[in-house]
Structure 1
Amino acid sequence: MLNAKEANVLRDLAQQYMEFAVRPQQRELEKLWIAHNTGSGVRPMVLVDQIPWHEMNADGSLTTVITAPYWKEVETSLRQTLYKMRFIPSDLVLPPYILLPRILKDPFFRTFGLKVQEHTAQTDIHNSVISHSYIKQFEAMEDLEKLNPSDLCADTAQEQEIWEEAQRIFEGIAPIRWQGVMMHSGLWDTISEWQGVEECYYMLLDEPEPLHALLGRMTDIMLKWIDQGNAQGLFDTASGICHCSHTLVKPFSETPDPLPGTSANSWTFGMAQLFTAVSPDVTKEFELPYASRIFERFGNVYYGCCEKLDDRLDLVASLPHVRKVSCSPWSDPKHFAASLPEQLVMSFKANPALIGAGDMDAVRENLQGAINAARRENRRLEIILKDISTVQYHPERLTEFGKTALEMVQN
């Protein structure tokens, strides 16, 4: 249980959070996102996420004081959200309640019970972004036995304690809701950590049968987790965010009672990032059959991350329930917009390397290319700056990016 000082810290942060959340501007942004997500977008939308927080704390506002791990996570989230609202202009919409992460008996269930073996290298001891060299763990069919997944299961006893404490802390300040599980459905991200990317390419050529067996086994496990999550109502329906993009289709105020936390009410996100370097036929054989089985269980899907999807957007569009598709920094926005089916959102990833270099002229050129391409093809566009590994300890660069991007889309 938190002491009085720690509880007061959370109350103060929650008060500041709610002051932002109830502002009239937030309701206007809700309307813009709803129009954007339901097919009648007014203008491109802008968000900034996955920030190098270790470089941001110039004013000390990100320094945490709570020691209990769960509440430290809540404190950190509130502090980071407040920082975004104060210093990084964007179209961020805040739910008018405090989100409490669900507590799982095994929070690392998504590892499939297999520990990644790797060598790492780090250039900045404060930065969590590091280089990885993975060690191959699957050599033969028998190695499938290494998969020993935990169940997806809530720790109901601990959750009851947290809920009761949260009610005491935030009483009279803010409502509270559980933030459920957001399922990462990109199997190839996990496989590449077990094998190494280069080894995956060799296996696609020389050992397709073991790969299909591995993908089938992982998919079966994922479907079991989905069944378990549905039985417990564990999936996220409260945050309004999936893979750094807002998913609102109605105002927060119109869902005063939490939606059931089922996969049918939730989003998932998938990707096969290493498939940038393979043909569309490989995507068709080694991604679509497995992703389809998973995606059909969810109401909505965000597809893609850093991979270049320009030459296989027809395949992506054939996946069940896909709503938004990533246009990565390696994509050609003109070709992407022309090839993207009109019902899908073009989720353009601004190039974070340009922010790291502080080259705002290049940033404007990067953004304008996407805006022009989307406008030419009449595609709904969102601009997402993410995967920001560094701003070279110049946090003001994110402020300048936000101002620049909003000015460009509003014009």
Structure 2
Amino acid sequence: MVNASDKKVIRELASRWKDLAAQPVMRERKRLWKAVHDLEPERPVILVETSSIDGFVAPEELSCQDPFLRAVEQNLRDNLRHAEELGDDLILEPYFRLGWHLDCSDFGVNVETRPATVAKDEIALGYTFNFPIRSPADVRLLKQRSFQVDRPRTLQRKQLLEDAMGDLLPVRVGNYDPFLAQWGDEGWTGMFFFGLTWQIYRFIGNDGLLYWLYDAPDTIHWLMEYMAQDRERLFEFLEREKLLVPNTDNQMAGPRAYGYVSELPGPEADGRTRLKDLWGWAESQESTVISPDMYKEFFLPYLARLSARFGLVYYGCCEPVHDRLSLIMQAIPNLRSVSVSGWADFRQVAEMLGRRYVYSRKPTPAFISGPNPDWGLVEQDMRKTYAAAKDCCVELLFRDIYTVAKDRPRLARWVAMTRKIFGM
């Protein structure tokens, strides 16, 4: 049962969402996103990640008392503020997404996150782990995970939301990312983030990852096979239990990338959704400092194996890819989008991708973050991008900003500046 005050808050926000989602500009933006992903762009598309920005919606702005509805309120307010203030190519669909509640067992070892110690008024962005696998022999401690879906709990929450706002904003249940981190698996993009070296790093640390390539190469292969099988079991579980829905809407189909594309079933598609109908997200940030040849031997085969299960693949996150991009393109024939971070060689990647792939540019967040943004560097970053990639299929995804020192207008300023540079 939803109390009257919480229901009033949720309904007011849902009504605003409904009105914004019905605006003609949303249909136009969908068309533009789809054109980029279809490799027939009319112009670049732009999206800023606001959900990770400290204080974009401050805790004191939230009114709901129920913890679940308070999280829903946070999600609604974040998207509404984004839509009303930034002027980027954000899309609001005329429905609200709710992820299935998944219960996943552990890996057999306790991976502890240890955040950095900071002052009370600072954000703890840095963190490390206890790295429980201390020697190659310790991999015997790892066990096979199991997965379960809690349908009653999920559907109970769906009913709660429908009672509160279902007549305004229908609720869709699927393999969506949980908006409360403690619920379900710690995944992104609807659980289709591969995260192989991401997890192995948490087991053995950077020292283990680098040294064992020489001292215990068979153990690295064992760990990659272990993680690949873990992901395969998860993906197969989601498909077998009929939990999948198309990620070809504004659900993330990569790191903050929308999934609109013509080659895969759309969000209104009828029938059972399969892995082959979806985007997958491959990356290997932790192997960046390892040579392309060793990357090809120890990591790429497992990423390619998982990629083959999906319809289209987004590759990369924050790592540079220019020195191994040709290997990735050969190994993953269904590759569609490639992340181009600030560490990449912009021009080299643009020449390699051409108009055969999406040039998914991640602007450098350090230039705009904190109390004193450097607008000269911010502009230079975008002008270099334009010079390198103006003839490519470009999406501009501004992620990992984390703090703007309560100066939200700088985000809209960046969007306007970028539109001007790219002639939009």
TM-score by shorter chain over 0.5:
yes
Q: Residues 2 and 164 of structure 2 are in contact (CA less than 8 Å); yes or no, is this contact kept in structure 1?
A: no
Change (3 A) 1:204 1:33: same
For structure 2, the residue ranges without an aligned partner over 5 or more in a row are 176-189
Q: Which moved more, 1:232-241 or 1:273-282?
A: 232-241
Among candidates 348, 351, 359, match of residue 364 of structure 2: 351
Q: CA deviation at 1:345?
A: 0.6
- 2:131/2:205 contact within 8 Å kept: yes
Task: Say whether residues 1:278 and 2:287 are aligned partners.
Answer: no
Q: Is 1:313 aligned to residue 325 of structure 2?
A: yes
CA–CA separation in structure 2 for the residues paired with 1:150 and 1:296: 22
In the alignment, the residues of structure 2 paired with residue 259 and residue 83 of structure 1 have an alpha-carbon distance, to the nearest angstrom, of 35
Alignment of 1:12-411 (within 5 A): 12-49=12-49, 51-57=51-57, 63-106=61-104, 112-117=107-112, 119-123=114-118, 125=120, 129-180=124-175, 181-237=190-246, 239-240=249-250, 241-242=252-253, 243-249=255-261, 255-256=267-268, 260-317=272-329, 318-340=331-353, 342-356=355-369, 357-375=372-390, 378-411=391-424
Deviations 1:16-48 (A, max 9, x none): 111111101111111111111111001111111
Cα gap change, 1:157 to 1:205, in 2 (>3 Å) = same
Is contact 1:234–1:262 with CA below 8 Å preserved after alignment?
no
Structure 1 residues 254 and 150: CA distance shift in structure 2, 3 A: closer
Cα offset for 1:346? 0.8
Alignment CA distance shift 1:251-1:18 (3 Å): farther
Contact 2:54/2:403 (CA < 8 Å) preserved in 1? no
- Which whole-Å deviations, capped at 9, do the CAs of 1:91-135 have from their partners, x for residues lacking one? 1111221111221234xx5x6354323543133546664322333
Contact 1:333 1:373 in 2 (8 A): yes
Give the direction of change, closer, same or farther, for the CA distance of 1:28–1:410 in structure 2 (3 Å limit): farther
Name the amino acid aligned to 1:299.
G
TM-score between the two structures when normalised by the length of structure 1:
0.90
Q: Select the structure that is richer in helix.
A: 1
Distance in structure 2 (CA, Å) of the matches to 1:54 and 1:265:
35
How far did 1:261 drift?
A: 4.2
Aligned equivalents of 2:327, 2:36: Cα separation in 1: 23
Q: Distance in 2 between matches of 1:346 and 1:281?
A: 24
- 2:61 alignment partner, SS class: coil
Q: Distance in 2 between matches of 1:322 and 1:237?
A: 18
For residues 96 and 203 of structure 2, the distance between their equivalents in structure 1, rounded to whole angstroms, comes to 36
CA shift in 2, pair 1:146/1:258, >3 Å: farther
Aligned-partner Cα distance in 1 for 2:120–2:264 = 40
The number of residue pairs the alignment matches comes to 404
Alpha-carbon contact 1:52-1:127 (below 8 Å) kept: no
What secondary structure, in the 3-state scheme, does the structure 2 residue paired with 1:75 have?
A: helix
More moved, 116-125 vs 350-359: 116-125
Give CA-to-partner distance per residue, 1:240-276, whole Å, 9 cap, x none: 3222011102599974456644322222212111222
Cα distance in structure 2, aligned partners of 1:251 and 1:268: 14
Answer whether contact 2:246 2:266 (CA < 8 A) is retained: no
Q: Could you tell me how far 1:80 is from its partner in structure 2? A: 0.7
Quick check: 2:56–2:78 contact (8 Å CA) kept in 1?
A: no
- Residues 247/85 of structure 1: CA separation in 2 closer, same or farther (3 Å cut): same
Unmatched tracts of structure 1, length 5 or more? none
Identity of matched residues, %: 26
Match of 2:182 in 1: none
> Would you say the 8 A contact 2:111–2:131 is kept in 1?
no
Moved more, 389-398 or 282-291: 389-398
1:236 and 1:253 map into 2 onto residues whose CA distance is 10
Measure, in 1, the Cα distance between the counterparts of 2:61 and 2:263: 32
CA distance in 1, matches of 2:401, 2:408: 11
| Amino acid corresponding to residue 190 of structure 1 in structure 2 | Q
In structure 1, give the amino acid aligned to 2:279: W
Q: 1:260 to 1:77 in 2, by over 3 A?
A: farther
Which stretch of the first structure deviates more once superposed, 2-11 or 60-69?
Answer: 60-69
- Please give the secondary structure, in 1, of the residue aligned with 2:143: coil
Q: Does structure 2 retain, via aligned residues, the 8 Å contact 1:55–1:394?
A: no
Q: In structure 1, what is the Cα distance between the partners aligned to 2:173 and 2:256?
A: 19
Question: Distance between the aligned counterparts of 2:271 and 2:300, measured in 1?
Answer: 29
1:322 CA drift (Å): 1.8
Shift of 1:166: 2.5
For the structure 1 residues 156 and 212, does the alpha-carbon distance in structure 2 shift closer, same or farther, using more than 3 Å as the test?
A: same
